[in-house]
Structure 1
Amino acid sequence: MEGVPQTPSVSIVIPAYNEESCIRQCLVAAIYQSVPAHEIIVVDNMSKDSTAEIVRHMQQEYPESNIILATQDSEQGLVPTRNHGLGLATGDVLGRIDADSIIEPDWVERVSEAFTDPDVMAATGPVVYYDMPLRRFGLKADDKMRQLVLKLARKQYHFLFGSNMAVRKSAWEIIKDQVCRDEEDLMHEDIDVSLHLAENNLLIRYVPAMVSGMSARRLEDSPKDYRYYVNRFDRTYSAHQITERVLRVPMLIFMSVYYPAKVLRYLHTARKGQATVRGGI
């Protein structure tokens, strides 16, 4: 009907390296959507485990779901693997999640709705730790924190989150040769994409209804790994020669959500350990 915006198609791109423990549940969530994805692309980056074999089995199990197994074996790394998958995708909108992400059943529908606005060039949403207690409380806390920090930043800056993001294909075509290669793996690749979008005046929108689950396994990093992770923010900004204080926003989000979640993860693991001991006595 004339005057009614068309519903954009959504591709889902999943970079994967040695993800046999979680790739199936990630794909099941991507398959069982209220609105089907245009395609689901898993990009295997030289995995040494059975990641690719599991994907091939799921292609046979769900032939109607357009699961595509691609390989990126020219170099090891998330950025070239992500770029390869986004380059292969043919949907109007390119969704990008992690191999341990479990998107909500209406994720594709919510992403497509967000991009019916022709001004929206990229979108991101809140996350929930699906293998933690108090999951829904954690989701509300994550959403409220992101909304608060965006408000404090006067809505000048929106940042994509790698486990839950989508970019309009036409926007990716503009920035694909600009995004940093980050061969030394020093930066946050999702913030790098955000900054390149901003440099081209391409609108990023935060969509509260666009919910993805992620594993709390990331909270088990050592203190050394955690410091290195946090310092990625400064390294990303330095690479873009950006010094504005407001760009501490994503670091504030991460630290505000990370610390309470890490404590909960510790308590949850401790309780499980105690239960195992009691059960074994």
Structure 2
Amino acid sequence: MRNTVLIPTYRRPQDLSRCLSALRKQTKPVDQAIIVVRDIDTETWEFLAQFNQHDLPLQTVTVTQPGVVAALNAGLAAVEGDIVSITDDDAAPHPDWLEKIAAHFTSDSCIGGVGGRDWIYHGSKLEADSRQIVGKLQWFGRVIGNHHLGVGEPREVDVLKGVNMSFRTKAVGQLRFDQRMRGTGAQVHFEMAFTLALKRSGWKIIYDPLVAVDHFPAQRFDEDQRNNFNEIAFINLVHNETLVLLEHLPPLRRIVFLFWSVFVGTCDSFGLVQWLRLLPKQGILAGKKLLASWRGRWQGYKQFKINSISY
């Protein structure tokens, strides 16, 4: 099975260099490596002009629209492999990454997606905790991630993480990443929309902790600055989550999800219970997060209703 590695990048040439070096060390050689670069990203273009491709079959795709969704969709249009493996420019796949991915797809023709653990480094400090439950959508709409902490045997999941996810191109077909995802860079939950769509089509999604990449979270150049609160980024995150889940869940579970999300929520998308729990520690910030979450929920709900009427 021919493989394609797809990497969206923006203004992080040093990180990209580390990623490409890791691809050169794969025990299963890369058949096609697609780097998607913004037209205005002079830093990356200068790096690629000087980069010694050597034995790496590198191909560049130019994109003018900001955001990871536009970049990945532009890259998908150029994919030639039977498997497309997606990672971030600030990640370095382990040497057996592609070999283990191929083994899963070869073992079962019903597998449409494969993901694995991203070992997160904060400087020299590694997040080395462990979790058994990874990538699961609970019946009432709560999504459990933990992809960076997963341990155990390979198993079916509902959601993969963008830094380490691979797909059978036959399963992808004409499916593309959802352009309604808000944000000008990270567009949080774009991968959830994609993997849940594959699940609805009947494909198996597998998480294997041994399909691993090292992840060095780098600077972002949009409103989403990871752990720093930004109202717009918070609203966008909750909007995206709400839209994706309302379209995926059956009618009764949609109602349960809306009530649960407004009154309970999570630490990433507040409801009343989360606000009360974190109010003593976060004070005014907790109130800002609650209001941003409610705005995101409402906007995601409105987008869902608009789409429902149009269909």
- Give yes or no for the alignment of 1:106 onto 2:101: no
> Distance between the aligned counterparts of 1:66 and 1:42, measured in 2?
11
- How far residue 213 of structure 1 moved from its aligned partner, in angstroms, is 1.7
- How far residue 221 of structure 1 moved from its aligned partner, in angstroms, is 3.2
Of 34, 49, 74, the residue aligned with 2:42 is 49
TM-score (norm 2): 0.65
Say which is worse superposed, 208-217 or 147-156, in terms of deviation.
147-156
- Give yes or no for the alignment of 1:202 onto 2:203: yes
Letter paired with 1:64: D
Q: Which runs of 5+ in 2 are unaligned?
A: 140-154, 220-224, 270-311
Of 119, 126, 136, the residue aligned with 1:128 is 119
Q: Which runs of 5+ in 1 are unaligned?
A: 1-7, 256-281
- How far residue 105 of structure 1 moved from its aligned partner, in angstroms, is 1.2
Counterparts in 2 of 1:104 and 1:229: CA distance versus 1, 3 Å: farther
> Distance between the aligned counterparts of 1:115 and 1:53, measured in 2?
36
**Secondary structure at 1:34 match in 2:** coil
Say which is worse superposed, 89-98 or 151-160, in terms of deviation.
151-160
What do residues 44-90 of structure 1 show as CA deviations (whole Å, max 9, x unaligned)? 122433202212322xx2332101122122x2221121011122111
Q: CA RMSD in A?
A: 3.1
- How far residue 198 of structure 1 moved from its aligned partner, in angstroms, is 1.2
> Distance between the aligned counterparts of 1:152 and 1:16, measured in 2?
29
What do residues 8-46 of structure 1 show as CA deviations (whole Å, max 9, x unaligned)? 222100011222231111111112111111111101122
Which position in structure 2 is the counterpart of 1:83?
A: 73
Counterparts in 2 of 1:79 and 1:203: CA distance versus 1, 3 Å: same
What do residues 104-159 of structure 1 show as CA deviations (whole Å, max 9, x unaligned)? 11111111111112121101111112344452xx24x2xx42x3246895977421
Contact 1:114 / 1:207 at 8 angstroms: preserved in 2? no
Contact 1:20 / 1:49 at 8 angstroms: preserved in 2? no
What's the % identity of the aligned pairs? Answer: 20
**Secondary structure at 1:210 match in 2:** strand
Which position in structure 2 is the counterpart of 1:32?
A: 25
Which position in structure 1 is the counterpart of 2:133?
A: 148
Of 11, 17, 24, the residue aligned with 2:10 is 17
Within 5 A, what are the aligned runs for 1:175-194? 175-176=175-176, 179-182=177-180, 184-185=182-183, 188-194=189-195
**Secondary structure at 1:65 match in 2:** coil
- Give yes or no for the alignment of 1:216 onto 2:217: yes
**Secondary structure at 2:5 match in 1:** strand
Aligned length: 234
TM-score (norm 1): 0.72
Q: Which has the higher helix share?
A: 1
Which position in structure 2 is the counterpart of 1:116?
A: 106
Contact 2:135 / 2:158 at 8 angstroms: preserved in 1? yes
Q: Which has the higher strand share?
A: 2
- How far residue 192 of structure 1 moved from its aligned partner, in angstroms, is 0.8
- Give yes or no for the alignment of 1:169 onto 2:180: no
**Secondary structure at 2:27 match in 1:** coil
**Secondary structure at 1:223 match in 2:** coil
Of 82, 101, 115, the residue aligned with 1:92 is 82
Counterparts in 2 of 1:33 and 1:47: CA distance versus 1, 3 Å: farther
Higher relative contact order (CA 8 A, sep 6+): 1
**Secondary structure at 1:89 match in 2:** coil
> Distance between the aligned counterparts of 1:54 and 1:156, measured in 2?
39
Contact 2:134 / 2:157 at 8 angstroms: preserved in 1? no
Which position in structure 1 is the counterpart of 2:59?
A: 68
What do residues 159-199 of structure 1 show as CA deviations (whole Å, max 9, x unaligned)? 110000001010111423xx421264365110010111011
